[in-house]
Structure 1
């Protein structure tokens, strides 16, 4: 239990991921599924950024002179998360555009109704 209290960002990320996954599985509405996917994305970003941060160290931006390698955090997790955010936004835009086209074709954004109309 002590580990959960010390790593509350990671714990919150895991809870958020579970909420997003539950939304993705339990709802038939495509917009709600996209929202669940975005919650999961955000949880992954929070988890990796929390793991990349080290208390007491600074961002690797040299302002008042170089302080040595051990004074700075690793910038790679943050850079990867910035790339991940761009990919997540692009995926969300594509999913929303696909949802609009499905709504135009089938008149609904409920997945079970789309599947039922597609069979008949």
Structure 2
């Protein structure tokens, strides 16, 4: 089970980093979301992966799940959803104002020339 969770975290992180390094805004937003999911799964797994254990300590129970990572993950989900909504609205506003969602790379020596419109 630990190998499966660790693999899922690694795949989410790799895909998120790949998308963050793209030069378009919406893949960057998706990459940040994947990185957020990877961190959430990591935080959740840090509270020990136990199946069928209660999240609080009660009398007579020897094995329980730590509730702190669960609370951190729930808080992180809410915050990341709100921040993703804000970033999507900012990116959408930038796209609608310029009709393009590419990121200009200042180190690119030969930027793509803009297409000239035929004037007839």
**Structure 2-normalised TM-score?**
0.75
Cα deviation code 1:38-72 (max 9, x no counterpart): 0111111112212213335612258xx7324x321
- Distance of 1:106 and 1:59 partners within structure 2: 53
| Structure 2 CA distance for partners of 1:56 and 1:91, relative to 1, 3 Å | closer
Is the CA contact 1:16–1:43 (under 8 Å) kept in the aligned structure 2?
A: yes
| Equivalent residue in structure 2 for 1:14, among 10, 13, 27 | 10
With 98-107 and 53-62 compared, the bigger mean Cα shift is at: 53-62
Q: Which runs of 5+ in 2 are unaligned?
A: 106-110, 112-120
Contact 1:57 1:73 in 2 (8 A): no
List aligned pairs for 1:81-100, cutoff 5 A: 81-100=73-92
Query: Unpaired runs of 5+ in structure 1?
Result: none
- What are the within-5 Å matches in structure 2 for residues 22-41 of structure 1? 22-25=18-21, 27-41=22-36
| The structure with more helix, counted as a fraction of residues | 1
In the other structure, the counterpart of 2:40 is 45
Q: CA deviation at 1:73?
A: 0.8
Q: TM-score, normalised by structure 1?
A: 0.75
**CA RMSD between the two structures:** 2.4
Aligned partners of 1:13, 1:73: CA distance in 2, in Å?
20
Call closer, same or farther: CA 1:60–1:99 in 2, change over 3 Å. same
**Equivalent residue runs for 1:71-110 within 5 Å:** 71-110=63-102
Distance change (3 Å), C-alpha of 1:34 and 1:105: same
Question: Larger Rg: 1 or 2?
Answer: 2
